[in-house]
Structure 1
């Protein structure tokens, strides 16, 4: 698989529905909201930026981040998911790198933050491999990890 075949495209009238029908594996469902919920949230919180993840011109995932700093004075990653049929191919990591590159262009972007359930080993491995570190921040049942830019 070539990473050049992966791109992220801002959600629009042509790609939103395909993102709604993507699914994670059964064991991952407790860790992430359905994409339809995230898409609806983005319509009421205008600073949230939803994107479709494409692999070879097919929508295979969804991600969303906030375009204004929040808690911990950082820009937050809200969602990153890859459909269960396309997991384990490096698509999520490549898409997350593209998202980090986009977020690093936001005004005064020096810190990115993502929260996830501590038992979500897939998320833990992904963010750790991309340089996010656990500085001990917790929000309810989630841990927040930080990447300093």
Structure 2
């Protein structure tokens, strides 16, 4: 087994959400999704830049054990209150390992601690093949019947 293969986390890896700092930034900027997914999720560099200009953005790196594997961002507005899963990306080589599901589970736990949090919202483009709708449905999200900028809105009730 090569050293690189030894380093790659497995399905049983502990998933955590961690602050991205100037020391940990580079791996997140270099992450890629598959070609078809590029139309569905913004590049992490764009997301991180947007987050720095939106005071209601809360973002974290997704780690599997000690390996950076993805990115998650929340629109966090306790004054409204609105909690919206703004971005979720898992790098192509780490997809299918359950890391995205575990990251959303951690995000849900975080949102439950926010003032008056009753639901977590997310949206996706409906026309694109391979859209994440079925993934979100497996996590308990339901379609609301609403659209936001041409995207279908889903909600996860927080009980």
Instruction: Summarize the alignment of residues 50-65 of structure 1 with structure 2, pairs less than 5 Å apart.
Output: 50-65=59-74
The Cα shift of 1:121 comes to 3.5
Q: Which has the higher helix share?
A: 1
Q: Does residue 40 in structure 1 map to residue 46 in structure 2?
A: no
The one of 128, 136, 141 equivalent to 2:150 is 141
SS of equivalent residue, structure 1 residue 95: helix
What secondary structure does 2:132 align onto? helix
Deviations 1:68-119 (A, max 9, x none): 0598x53111101100000011111111111111111111100110011113
Q: Which residue of 1 aligns with 2:27?
A: 18
How far 1:16 moved relative to its partner?
Answer: 2.1
Segments of 4+ moved more than 6 angstroms: none
Residue 141 of structure 1 deviates from its aligned partner by 2.1
Match of 1:2 in 2: 12
In structure 2, what is the Cα distance between the partners aligned to 1:144 and 1:120? Answer: 17
Give 5+ residue unaligned stretches, structure 1: none
Partners of 1:122 and 1:57 in 2: CA distance: 29
TM-score, structure 1 as length reference: 0.91
1:10–1:49 CA contact under 8 A, matched in 2: no
User: Pairwise CA RMSD of aligned residues?
Assistant: 1.7
More deviation, 133-142/119-128: 119-128
Which of residues 85, 90, 103 is equivalent to 2:98? Answer: 90
Is there any run of 5+ residues in structure 2 with no aligned partner, and where?
1-10
Bigger radius of gyration? 2
Tell me which of 85, 104, 111 is aligned to 1:77.
85
Task: Go from structure 1 to structure 2 and tell me whether the alpha carbon gap of 1:109 and 1:15 turns closer, same or farther (over 3 Å shift).
Answer: same
> What is the DSSP-based 3-state SS (H/G/I as helix, E as strand, rest coil) of the residue aligned with 2:123?
strand
